[in-house]
Amino acid sequence: MDPRRYTVPVMNGESPEGIEVLDKLAADGLVEPFDYDRVLHHAQRHAERVEEAVVELGVVSEADLLRTVAEMVRTQFVSTEKLAKAQVSRSLIEMVPRRVAERLGAFPILFDRKTLTLSVVTYDLQAPEVARQLQVATDARAVTTYVARPGAVRAAIRKYYYGEVDSFTELMRPKRRRAAEPEAAPAGRGDYIDVDFGSEELGGRRAAPAQAARPAPQPRRQPEPPPPPPPAPVVMEIADASLMAALSGSPLRASASAQAEPPSSPSNAESPAPASSSSSSLSVSPRMFLETLNVMVTLAEQERGELRGHTSLVARLTRKLCELVDMPKEHAFEVVVAAYLHDLGKTGNYHLTPLNVAQYEGHRIQAQKSFAAPLRLFESAALGDKTVKTLNHLYERYDGNGFPDRLQERDIPLGSRVLAVVETYADITASAKNPFRRRLSPREACEAIQGLVGTVFDPTIVQLLQRLAVGDEVRQQLLDDAHSVLLVDPDVESTTVLEMRLMEHGHRVLIARSFDQALTVLAEAEVDLILTEVDLPTHDGFRFVERCRAGSQPDTPVIFLTRRGDRESVQRGVELAAADYVVKPASPEVVAMKVGQVLSQSRRRQSHGVSGSLREMSLPDVVQILSNGRKSGKLTLTSSSGNGEIQFGGGAISDARFGDITGADAVYALLALRDGEFALDPSFLPLRNAINLPTESLLLEGMRRLDESGR
């Protein structure tokens, strides 16, 4: 059928985008003249591409549309259903900048680190040009393009770049088709199939998009025979660099006889592992399975007081530590399962951790009685072999003095060694009911665990935990916008509302009811402002501020909020360089605003400082954190190679300096630093933008230059 016979309605003087697709559908006999005009009218009226109008009106099924487009572009296609189920890693999303994805109408779905090949879906009919531009923008060695429905590509961009988790909902609703029109069969035309990433189809046809021969058009006026029933669904999570991504199925065995461990996926590729035989019988993904465990243990911990959320923290840290030790993905999954189950069924007076079990006889006796409780609870669930071993040997000691089998060093399962360190770290940093009787900071906790290296804990695992913990601490500091306010007042009733107002203004509030208690708080934590009453038990607020000025808080701003309004008291506050002196009663909202004003004028944040070592956190990681968090400030770098700085405005790098080098070249030179110190001054605001390049481009170019230099 000649598409020139169709009447093209002109509404705005231009044909809608995708008109070539409609012409091809008409030439193949899939669109009648009446529908041709109707589609064009709908597309122009709603200012959308022709492909969307075709599907929305039910003229052609999505499968037939995508086969036609794939035939035109000589590639394969990805259906909306499969794109909606894809789990794409944050590292892959960051590889293609949002503006590039939106401008090209392309979305990344896979990156093979072995071949440095990036795979994307697009609706642009000029796929080779899209591939060329992405190759320049991402430094991928090759780019493979697949086609998808325009609405599906845009939904994927909204989901992963803007966080709209329900972006696919409208697209997934079935469209009505005319009763007289049979549903097209999903069987493909030659090589133009719906790609299921992670399946054998993709692995065996990697070159298909570039090499597939274009078959002759086949009119399909007669309905094709119904396809065979699809196989049981296999949930495949593609392109995910996190721990769960490369898993092809749950290691939980469907039966006791299926104990063979699936092969490990390569640790240096983001492409998914082949589906294992056990995974095909499961209807949930590993991620969903772990989420179910998370909900279960969270509910079970509701009455655990300070230990609420303990298990989720242990599981999260275990997953990260498994990544650091380069544990095979399937093995790591089972260890994380053990982390979720490790406390279940252990009743008694103590919270049992490898640390207190090693130090206290009462804890040891209780642990010997209950260490197998999680395994007994889940005996009928046929837990994976690695999960069983991890739980069974949690209380072994590195020196061989643990139980139940007195294993030592590398004879202890790796999962048990990891979980032992993580369980102890989580307990002493999150709960005050630990052997130290207070919550330790991440650095203090690492030092405490370091003292038991070689006896209770594996030295290598502890070293990796230190790297993880310090990195998390610095990352939190870099992203943390909250100020700490110490409120010193014995009157509980009057300070309750004020505390709430300060928290509503985004401040962390520490409470002290006496002179001595306030000094204790300051000994354990740094604060950005002190808000104190004058009338305190034993000593007054003036004496407290004098101690602060002579001790660890010489420059911390102070606001007096007090009942004393006499001239002598006000004068005493001025002599102590108080930022303000407020007489009660005062509106909590007004006081909160005064606190905010004083903090905004203070440079105290720089002194309590976001700083760290480039050995603990690399400069590219620091830059990425500040960029993603849209932070402003000046990042100062000190090293044996020289000193430099990078200025940020709203997450974008505005300028940089390294010795005599400035601008983008200074950024590239600084990225080569491996040793040294960094410090962020968040009060600094850049005056100009001397570098008009996206942060992603600067990082990619810096990494490319490093690779070329052989460093």
> How many of the other CB atoms lie within 10 Å of CB of 295?
11
Dig out the tokens for 573 from the structure. 């506050």
Dihedrals phi, psi of 192, to nearest 5 degrees: -85, 85
Dig out the tokens for 382 from the structure. 């046929």
What contacts 236, CB < 8 A, 6 or more positions away?
85, 196, 197, 198, 199, 248, 272, 275
Looking at the predicted structure, is the pLDDT value of residue 695 above 80? yes
Q: Where are the domains of the chain?
A: 1-60, 79-175+189-213+233-241, 286-477, 484-605, 609-709
Looking at the predicted structure, is the pLDDT value of residue 248 above 70? no
Per-residue model confidence (pLDDT) at position 645: 94
Beta bridge partners of 610: 680
Per-residue model confidence (pLDDT) at position 272: 36
pLDDT band at 277 (very low <50, low <70, confident <90, very high): very low
**pLDDT 10s digits, 55-114:** 988 899 999 899 999 888 888 899 998 888 888 888 888 888 888 888 889 999 988 888
Per-residue model confidence (pLDDT) at position 605: 45
Q: Answer yes or no: are the C-beta atoms of 542 and 497 closer than 8 Å.
A: no
Q: Measured between alpha carbons, how far is 63 from 78 in angstroms, rounded to an integer?
A: 9
Q: Answer yes or no: are the C-beta atoms of 544 and 573 closer than 8 Å.
A: no
Only one residue has tokens 């009660």, namely 584
What is the value of pTM for the model shown? Answer: 0.40
What Cα–Cα distance (Å) separates residue 524 from each residue in 463, 542, 545? 25, 21, 17
Per-residue model confidence (pLDDT) at position 669: 92
Residue 400 Rama label (left phi>0; alpha psi -120 to 50; beta)? left
Per-residue model confidence (pLDDT) at position 192: 67
Greater confidence, 497 or 119?
119
Looking at the predicted structure, is the pLDDT value of residue 378 above 60? yes
**pLDDT 10s digits, 152-170:** 999 999 888 888 888 888 8
pLDDT band at 532 (very low <50, low <70, confident <90, very high): very high
Q: Answer yes or no: are the C-beta atoms of 648 and 654 closer than 8 Å.
A: yes
The one-character DSSP state at 154 is H
* Top-confidence range, 4-13, 430-439, 453-462: 453-462
pLDDT band at 229 (very low <50, low <70, confident <90, very high): very low
The one-character DSSP state at 641 is T
Q: Answer yes or no: are the C-beta atoms of 157 and 107 closer than 8 Å.
A: yes
Greater confidence, 421 or 326?
421
Only one residue has tokens 């991890």, namely 390
pLDDT over 70 percentage in the chain: 77
Per-residue model confidence (pLDDT) at position 303: 67
**pLDDT 10s digits, 612-642:** 788 777 888 888 878 766 778 889 999 988 9
What contacts 5, CB < 8 A, 6 or more positions away?
33
Q: Answer yes or no: are the C-beta atoms of 30 and 60 closer than 8 Å.
A: yes
Residues in the chain: 711
Q: Measured between alpha carbons, how far is 612 from 617 in angstroms, rounded to an integer?
A: 7
Per-residue model confidence (pLDDT) at position 197: 59
- Give the domain 484-605 fold: Rossmann fold (3.40.50)
The superfamily (CATH) of domain 286-477 is: Hypothetical protein af1432 (1.10.3210.10)
**pLDDT 10s digits, 304-363:** 766 777 888 899 889 888 888 878 888 999 999 999 999 888 877 788 999 999 999 989
Q: Measured between alpha carbons, how far is 206 from 315 in angstroms, rounded to an integer?
A: 36
> How many of the other CB atoms lie within 10 Å of CB of 493?
6
Q: Answer yes or no: are the C-beta atoms of 549 and 578 closer than 8 Å.
A: no
3-class secondary structure, 304: coil
